[in-house]
């Protein structure tokens, strides 16, 4: 085994989600959200260049030297795949490697997702479902679990547009085509327009990055397709506002109308410190009820979405803070960590006090 593969194997087996290799620092990994260094020996420019050359073809190396940055994939059989970003910093090479472990796709139960709610979301034949949250919050894993459920239970055609492909799906009851940005299509918007000619029932768009992608996604959702995508937003209200902000003021009423007619659900999630170590998933769940649709359609009522969330428990909805209170009551988070993560610490404190006397 090469030195590079030995280093990567040790860090992956320690549970790292990302690996950092750069001149002047010891190899490092992100474990449970924090950077951890491995050993005290600092990597030299020669080390990192050798690692980079080992992972690249000669043509890729020449391209990298000219462009000074590159994105590519690397794999170690029976261990993991990696999505690699190579770059220059202070005249030397740095490598950031996202770990894509080759392991079974987790079920709703494995992830702590409410099974009844997510099975109902997956049964929809049309509409838009968004999974939102910061980088590293588990959006890809949640979407992979939903797609795997559809793949195993419905005879449909699924097309995904991803950057990069992080989870490999194989045909089960469904047929699934996975297309990667830069390799199989030039952009999400282009790939989405092309996918409409590929007889899709379900479409996954890796991220809504621009106006064109949002327009194409809403059009697909309104013409009989179930569309999944992601945004880097923290909650449903911010998600609605972010989508609307892609558009000029004179276009926004029409987009609000289209979004209100299309939305099936918005899942906003974060990975949080678990009591006793590790991470636990915290989330807000908004469903496209008639009240929610009216709040999305009317710009003056967007903030009323929070009240719909607070009162929607019987339908499977809840705010992020309501879920934090539930995690604390089940012993999955400490009250201190929950308070530090809360959207409104004051409201969460009241919820936890009520739970104590329930």
Could you read off the pLDDT of 162-199 as tens digits, one per residue?
A: 987 888 899 999 999 999 887 788 889 899 999 999 99
Q: Tell me where in the chain the CATH 3.40.50.300 domain(s) lie.
A: 108-318
Which residues make Cβ contacts (< 8 Å) with residue 19, sequence separation at least 6?
8, 11, 12, 27, 28, 29, 30, 82, 95, 96, 97, 99
Q: Which residue ranges in the chain fall short of pLDDT 50?
A: none
pLDDT tens per residue, range 13-56 = 999 999 999 999 999 999 988 999 999 899 999 999 999 999 99
Give the pLDDT score at 358: 63
Give the pLDDT score at 6: 95
What is the CATH code for 108-318?
A: 3.40.50.300
Give the pLDDT score at 81: 86
Phi-psi region of 266 (alpha: psi -120 to 50; beta: other; left: phi over 0): beta
Q: Tell me where in the chain the CATH 3.30.450.90 domain(s) lie.
A: 3-101
CATH class held by domain 3-101: alpha beta
- Residue 185 DSSP class: B
- Residue given tokens 């282009």 in the structure block: 190
């Amino acid at each position: 085994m090469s030195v590079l593969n030995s280093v990567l194997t040790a860090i992956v087996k320690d549970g790292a989600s990302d690996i950092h290799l750069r001149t002047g620092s010891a190899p490092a990994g992100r474990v449970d959200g924090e950077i951890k260094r491995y050993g005290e020996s600092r990597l030299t420019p020669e080390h990192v260049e050798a690692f980079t050359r080992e992972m690249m073809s000669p043509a890729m190396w020449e391209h990298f030297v000219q462009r000074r940055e590159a994105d590519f994939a690397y794999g170690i059989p029976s261990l993991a795949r990696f999505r690699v970003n190579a770059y220059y910093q202070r005249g030397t090479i740095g490598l950031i490697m996202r770990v894509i472990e080759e392991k079974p796709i987790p079920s709703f139960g494995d992830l702590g997702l409410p099974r009844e709610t997510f099975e109902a979301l997956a049964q929809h034949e049309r509409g838009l479902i968004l999974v939102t949250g910061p980088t590293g919050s588990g959006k890809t894993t949640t979407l992979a679990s939903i797609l795997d459920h559809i793949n195993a239970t419905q005879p449909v055609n699924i097309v995904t547009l991803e950057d990069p492909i992080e989870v490999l799906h194989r045909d089960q009851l469904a047929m699934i085509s996975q297309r990667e940005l830069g390799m199989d299509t030039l952009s999400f918007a282009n790939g989405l327009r092309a996918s409409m000619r590929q007889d899709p029932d379900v479409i996954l768009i890796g991220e809504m990055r621009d106006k064109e992608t949002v327009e194409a996604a809403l059009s697909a959702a309104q013409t009989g397709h179930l569309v999944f995508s992601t945004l880097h937003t923290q909650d449903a209200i911010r998600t609605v506002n972010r989508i609307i902000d892609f558009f000029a003021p004179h276009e926004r009423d029409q987009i609000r109308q289209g979004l209100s007619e299309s939305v099936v659900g918005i899942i906003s999630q974060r990975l949080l410190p678990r009591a006793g170590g590790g991470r636990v998933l915290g989330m807000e769940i908004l469903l496209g009820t008639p009240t929610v649709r009216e709040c999305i359609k009317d710009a003056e009522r967007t903030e009323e979405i929070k009240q719909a969330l607070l009162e929607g428990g019987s339908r499977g909805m809840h705010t992020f803070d309501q879920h934090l209170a539930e995690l604390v009551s089940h012993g999955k988070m400490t009250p201190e960590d929950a308070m530090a993560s809360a959207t409104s610490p004051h409201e969460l404190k009241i919820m936890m006090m009520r739970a104590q006397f329930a």
